[in-house]
Amino acid sequence: MEFCLDTGDLEEIKKVVDLYPIHHFSMNPSIAVRCLKGTGRSFLQNAVMIRDVIGDDAAFYLEVMGDTAEEMMEDARAICKIVKGNTSVKIPACPEGYKAIRLLTKEGIRCSCTAIYDFNQAMLAAEAGAKYAAVYVSRLDNAGGNGLEVVKNIKEAFLKEGITDCKVSAASLKSAIYLEKAALVGADNVTVTLDLLEKMAIHPMTPKTLETFKSDWEGLFGKGVRVANMEM
Query: Which residues are annotated as catalytic?
Result: 90
C-alpha–C-alpha distance, residues 171 and 6, integer Å: 9
56: exposed, middle or buried (Cβ count in 10 Å: 0-12, 13-18, 19+) = exposed
The 3-class SS string of the chain reads: CEEEEECCCHHHHHHHHHHCCCCEEEECHHHHHHHHCCCCCCHHHHHHHHHHHHCCCCEEEEECCCCCHHHHHHHHHHHHHHCCCCEEEEEECCHHHHHHHHHHHHCCCCEEEEEECCHHHHHHHHHHCCCEEEEEHHHHHHCCCCHHHHHHHHHHHHHHHCCCCCEEEEECCCCHHHHHHHHHCCCCEEEECHHHHHHHCCCCHHHHHHHHHHHHHHHHHCCCCCCCCCCC
